[in-house]
Structure 1
Amino acid sequence: MTTSELEVSGSSWDVSQFQHTPYYCEENVYLLCKELGTKGIADAQSSDLYVVFISNEKKQIPLWHQKASSRADGVVLWDYHVICIQRKGRGDSPSPHLVWDLDSSLPFPCPLARYVSETIRPDFQTFSEFQRYFRIVHAPVFLRCFASDRRHMKDSVGNWLHQPPLYQPIVAEDGTVHNLNDYFDIRATDAVTGTGADMTNEVFTKKLGVVITESQLEEFFSQIP
């Protein structure tokens, strides 16, 4: 199915067609971005894709409709989570931007507006320490720069907290072997305060992208040139 066919049919993809290792969402999304381009679902260079890290200083972010949850509403309190957002072109009848979340029970992919409403649930009143922030990184930049040797998944004596993927760890193009913490360490003071071009231009050049608040998420993607 081509990108245009997906837009017309509104079909969802089978999550099992994509690599998924529980608790390694950053690596899952790294591979997802590559595969979406390979399958022709996204641009071959991943230029319409954005990797989004969700976290905060307390490393406590509530997200709903997560398959790892044992609750009926699917809520999970993650330390951080990573998704992919595909920005659709604008025109007379623009298609909705899409969220690719391999850990979600919502349609795959899910329109951004629905994902915000049902997974992020900004209308749900939470304590300030659960405020979520979003680090948005342009996928081509992420695919060049991201690296993880999975050290964050080992305890103090070197035992795995969760079994790693069978493939080799991801190494950045410049030889860096681990910089995952740079991506998921997110503080309220990191959030940009500008609007329009001031808020979006840096996402194409900065290795770590830009950090925004949940109230800026939909606006951010509507303003990317």
Structure 2
Amino acid sequence: MKRNRHIPLWHQKASQRADGVVLWDYHVICVQRKKGGDSPCLVWDLDSSLPFPSPLAPYVSETIQPSFQLFSEYQRFFRIVHAPVFLRCFASDRRHMKDSAGNWIAQPPAYEPIVAEDKTAHNLNEYNEIRADEVSVNVEPDLIHAVYTNKLGVVLSENQLEEFFTQVSS
């Protein structure tokens, strides 16, 4: 069965619905874990209508809604990349924001396109594509180490997301 590239997320500003659901082809958030202390991880989601930032547990419960039974073709996976690695390696020349004739679908951001440290102009597709063999089975120390070293980080299922961030050392 072919998987659908669109996944539902709730409480999104772009929604026209009362429940705030939107089908995104991809969505980027930042999860912040503060050093020291026992403060909760915070989610920074610029598209969310929830408090900004939101603690991870309520964000997962309200936005991802893992208890909501989705059709089998809708599976949500999360590519976790450590921010410094992402900032060095990610690149987007915005080609995904143009139609087949090369016209802008929406006005592009005012800032310059993002170029990777190695001068790569576009690799968004590498971050978006998720293969079944990339999805981690267990959250273990090697997996956590890979987030800090792998250009594309690691891929988790929606049920592993909170567990992962509880095991990341502060």
Q: What band does the TM-score fall into relative to the shorter chain?
A: over 0.9
- Which structure has greater helix proportion? 1
Q: CA deviation at 1:193?
A: 1.4
Distance of 1:143 and 1:126 partners within structure 2: 33
Query: Equivalent residue for 2:123?
Result: 179
Please say if residues 3 and 74 of structure 2, whose CA atoms lie closer than 8 Å, have aligned partners that are also in contact. Answer: no
Please say if residues 57 and 186 of structure 1, whose CA atoms lie closer than 8 Å, have aligned partners that are also in contact. Answer: no
Identity %: 71
Secondary structure at 1:62 match in 2: strand
Query: Equivalent residue for 1:68?
Result: 14
TM-score with structure 1 length normalisation?
0.72
- Structure 2: give runs of 5+ residues left out of the alignment: none
Pairing of 1:17-166 with structure 2 (within 5 A)? 57-89=3-35, 91=37, 94-166=38-110
- Cα separation, partners in 2 of 1:186 and 1:57, compared to 1, 3 Å: farther
RMSD: 1.4
Distance of 2:99 and 2:120 partners within structure 1: 22
Q: CA deviation at 1:121?
A: 0.4
Query: Equivalent residue for 1:207?
Result: 151
Deviations 1:171-211 (A, max 9, x none): 11111100011001123332011332022110000000000
Secondary structure at 1:201 match in 2: helix
Query: Equivalent residue for 1:192?
Result: 136
- Structure 1: give runs of 5+ residues left out of the alignment: 1-55
Secondary structure at 2:87 match in 1: helix
Secondary structure at 1:211 match in 2: strand
Number of aligned residue pairs: give it.
168
Deviations 1:31-56 (A, max 9, x none): xxxxxxxxxxxxxxxxxxxxxxxxx9
Q: CA deviation at 1:90?
A: 5.0
Secondary structure at 1:165 match in 2: coil
TM-score with structure 2 length normalisation?
0.94
Distance of 2:148 and 2:43 partners within structure 1: 19
